[in-house]
Structure formats: C-alpha cells, structure tokens
Amino acid sequence: MAWFNLRRGSTQRASNDPTGDEAIPPLRVLAARHGLHIGAAVSEKHLREDPGYREILAREFNMVTCENAMKFGPLRPSRETFAFDAADSIVAFAQEHDMAVRGHTLIWHMMLPQWFRNAGLSYDEAIDVIRGHIHTVTRHYAGRLAAWDVVNEAFEDDGSWRETPFLKMLGPDYLSMAFHWAHEGDPHAKLFYNDFSADEINAKSDAIYEVLRELISQGTPVHGVGFQMHVNLENPPRPKSVAKNMKRFADLGLEVQVTEMDVALDVPATKRDLAEEARLYGDIMEACLGTKAFSAFVTWGVTDRYSWIPLQFHGKGAPLLFDDEGRPKPAYFAVREALQKELKTVPT
C-alpha cells in the first residue's frame, strides 16, 4: 500500500494516507517550515526488512540517528578493523530521501568492544586508539553528517563525573580531546554533548552546563547539547523547567536538540495514558519551539514495535508516535498540532 510517493522530494500524501487528513502535510514538512529537523532513531535491520518502517520514516521525518550502528562496538569488531556497512546503509537511505543524519556516538561507556575493554591501554596508547577511532570515523562520514554526539552520558545524576573507561584512561580532559579530534575529522559537522535526565534544571544539567561553559571559554569546538528526553508518566518532565534549562544552554551560544524522546507507558496502554503521552509530547515540542537555537526533535525509534523500552523495562512500551502496526497515535497528532501552530512568541 503506497501511502506515500517515496520519490525524492515528493511530499504529496496519497488519498489513503493513514494520518487521516490529506490536507495536512507530513511532520517533516511542518518542521521544515520552522527551520527544524524532526527525526527518528533507525535500526539497519528494520530499515532493511520492513517496508512499512521505511515508508513512515521517509514520509514523516527529515533526520535520522543510527540507533546502534555508529557506536564504538558495532563499528569496531577488532582493533584493526572498522565495519561501516550497516551505518553506511542508513546514511544512504537518508541521502536518498533528503534527510539529515546525526552521528551517534563517538564516546560512550556502553557497547564498547571487548578488545577495547580488555586492552589495558596506557595513557599514550589510549590517546592513539581513541584519537584514531574518532579521526577514522568522522573522516569516513565527513560532509554527510549534520551532527555528531561526540560524548554521550559523561555525568552521573548528582553531577559527578561518570567513572567511564575514558575518564579512567585520560582524565576529564577526554571531553575536550574528543571534541577537537571530531572537529579535525569533520570540520563541517555540528558537535554535540548528549545526555539523559538532564532535560530540566537539576544537579546533572548544572554540571553539564558548567563543563560546556568552560569548554567553550577554552575554544573547544562544541556546538550543541542534546537532551535525550527518555521519560515516563510517573515522573514527567515539567515543560517550563525544560524551557528554562534549554534557554541557559542556548544563551551559551549552543544549539539545543531533543535527541532521543520516548515516553514509556504501562502496556497494554490505556486510552488515558495514550492521551497523557500525547499531551507530554505536545508540551515538550511547544517548549522547544519557543526556545531559540532549538534545531531538532528526534524520537528514539520509528514505531512502538521496535522500541528498546520493552526489552529494557518489563511491562513498559508504547513510547513513540506510531504504534506497533505503524499507525499514528495521539502523540503523533499532538506533535503535528504543535508544529502547525505558528510560534506563539518570538523565541527567547
């Protein structure tokens, strides 16, 4: 069922379009009117195997993030080898459908290959290996990526440094080193720091703010901050605090992005929870639209079916804009409505 003509650049909805109103363009068209990207995290497997997944992605989004394919482990089966095929296929799809790409992620303590964990690298060896990784990967994608999550999740919730292998090997300077190496590899990509549970004003976002302020004062090429926005209904983010938090980072001269939003619900999801989820998505999008330097809103997946949430949290799921069958949920319409509203106030 061709809901959407996938030919490059075509944004005409077909008459049987599932979002119910042919007159309203896809999210990507509405976002572009705000000069924004709206994106989704993409798995190479599902992109390859599921035509409905591909159709929704190309129809509704103008940005992709590789969910796993550009992480250290998947890219580096061994110290001597790089495995780019999976990520290359996602980048190729994005280029075919006029979509921007976020690289995720050069430095993260998760999904590190065993050879790296077990290598017992000295300081100098760690410099060589990590600089080599960042240079090779950023050069491979240079010119094709809009942004990189250079460092992901370097801080604990209390604002202390996370004891990652990178901190242990290189000390806190690893942040600055990573950003400089990424910029050397791809001078055109916008370089982001990315984290979770830092969406509002709190000890963690305070620590990130101070570190990024210092990096910027030292001339480090850091261009943006990514707020992952992995949230739930039990303890939802307060849009006013999110907006205040985003503003202070924007005031540093940084781009601000929501990079991984999903809202974990108890499943099977009730109509009430789906409505609450929609309200939260719409409120966060509105908070973002009112923030200057806000440039992208990415959900952590395309359809509920393939979300990481049920795998990670038993009894939770239904976190995204499209359900297991690829049908738009109330959250989709809430995001669409927020994008359709003209900006209420000039971005502050």
Instruction: Please give the residue ranges that form the binding site for ligand G3I (CB under 6 A).
Output: 67-68, 110-111, 152, 196, 228, 260, 308
Distance CA 88, CA 241 (A): 38
Which residue's CB comes closest to ligand G3I?
308
Q: How far is the CB of 142 from ligand G3I (least distance, A)?
A: 22
Nearer to ligand G3I, 19 or 257 (CB): 257
Give the list of residues 6+ apart from residue 53 with CB closer than 8 angstroms, or none.
46, 47, 302, 303, 306, 326
Q: 83 phi and psi, to 5 degrees?
A: -115, 95
Task: CB nearer to ligand G3I: give 319 or 326.
Answer: 319
The smaller minimum CB distance to ligand G3I, of residues 26 and 226, is found at 226
Q: How far is the CB of 181 from ligand G3I (least distance, A)?
A: 20
Minimum CB–partner distance for residue 299 and ligand G3I (Å): 12
Q: How far is the CB of 195 from ligand G3I (least distance, A)?
A: 8
CB-nearer residue toward ligand G3I: 152 or 176: 152
Instruction: Estimate to the nearest angstrom the gap between the alpha carbon of 100 and the chain centroid.
Output: 12
**What whole-number distance in Å separates Cα of residue 211 and Cα of residue 207?**
6
Rounded to a whole number of angstroms, the minimum distance from the CB of residue 61 to ligand G3I is 17
Query: 153: phi > 0 → left, psi -120 to 50 → alpha, else beta; which?
Result: left
**Amino acid making up residue 344:** K
User: Rounded distance, CA 242 to CA 227, Å?
Assistant: 9
Q: What are the CA-CA distances from residue 335 to residues 56, 101, 146, 339 (Å)?
A: 15, 21, 23, 6
Distance, CA of 260 to CA of 228 (rounded, Å): 4
Q: Which amino acid is at 50?
A: D
Q: List, by residue number, the catalytic residues.
A: 153, 260
Instruction: For the chain, give the longest Cα–Cα distance.
Output: 62
Q: How far is the C-alpha of 249 from the C-alpha of 257, rounded, in Å?
A: 11
